[in-house]
Amino acid sequence: MAKAKARAAAKKLKDKWKAKVWYRVLAPALFNNVAIAETPAADKELLINRVTEVSLQDLTGDFRKSHVKLYFKIDRVEGTDAYTYFIGHTLTNDYVRRLIRRRRSRIDGVYDATTKDGAVIRVKPLATTERRIQSSQKHKIREIMKEVIFSYAKERTLDELIKSIIEDELPKEIANKCKKFYPLRKVEIYKTELMKRPTTEERAETKEKKEEEETGKEKVEEKEIEEGKEETKTEEEQTEEEKEKAKEKVERKKKKTKNKKEKKGEKKESAEE
């Protein structure tokens, strides 16, 4: 009896797996929608809100980025493709430990920044110095960090901000700004968390504004080109006028010289008579 029950349970388990379908998990458009994993599910609705972890090395092929872990959450499924969006990233503990050494100072910060398209992202920077520094110096460095992060977020969309973080553009900017006050050995954004995702309306509004700005820039450029053409044309016209005037002046001089010669000839003839 017990064996029969076990066989029935095993058969039921096999049937469950047979009913499941394998889905491809795709990275967001920011990472070119590359396939990052495969996952089974009996119903595609069960995939919604599943979180997938992947290293930046797997996405870009850059072995120097193996310490960067990215997190994506599934928000929609089309056919057998599950689409995700970015929810955060972190650096591995081993990498962070290697940054910290004795007789050095570590400066951390936590800032909730709002992006151009209305997203709220928690950014956690980490900086290290060559030598120990005072608390007042740490405080000043944190102020610079906050200023740079808020400024970067305000001028960029969520995707643009994420890109600036994973490509080390934001950490480098923090290091450059702090250099004027105190040189830093290393700056990293060791963790980010998406607190509020931009709505479809906010994304559309940001896109419209961007298009308007680009259109405005194009119009300004066209206007400048037209003005340049007009200036060139005016210069050419002025040059033509100057040429005509110079020509007339030469003609007048020739005529004057000719008249003088004629008068001299007449005087000579009258003297001979």
| Per-residue pLDDT reduced to its tens digit, 43-66 | 889 999 999 999 999 998 899 999
Determine what percent of the chain is predicted with pLDDT higher than 70.
Answer: 76
Tell me the CB-side half-sphere exposure of residue 135, using CA atoms within 13 A. 0
Give the model's pLDDT for residue 7.
62
> CATH fold of 92-211, please?
Tetrahydropterin Synthase; Chain A (3.30.479)
Judged against a pLDDT cut of 60, whether residue 9 lies above it is answered with no
Instruction: For the chain, give the mean pLDDT.
Output: 85
**Numbered ranges of CATH 3.30.479.30 in the chain:** 92-211
What phi and psi values does residue 70 have, to the nearest 5 degrees?
A: -110, 145
Lowest mean pLDDT among 62-71, 146-155, 170-179, 222-231: 222-231
pTM: 0.71
Exposed / middle / buried, residue 187 (Cβ in 10 Å: 0-12, 13-18, 19+): buried
Judged against a pLDDT cut of 70, whether residue 114 lies above it is answered with yes
Would you place residue 3 in the very low, low, confident or very high pLDDT band (cuts 50, 70, 90)?
low
Lowest mean pLDDT among 59-68, 130-139, 162-171, 221-230: 221-230
Cβ neighbours, 10 Å, residue 159: 19
> Which residues are paired to 55 by β-bridges?
69
Would you place residue 262 in the very low, low, confident or very high pLDDT band (cuts 50, 70, 90)?
low
Give the model's pLDDT for residue 23.
95
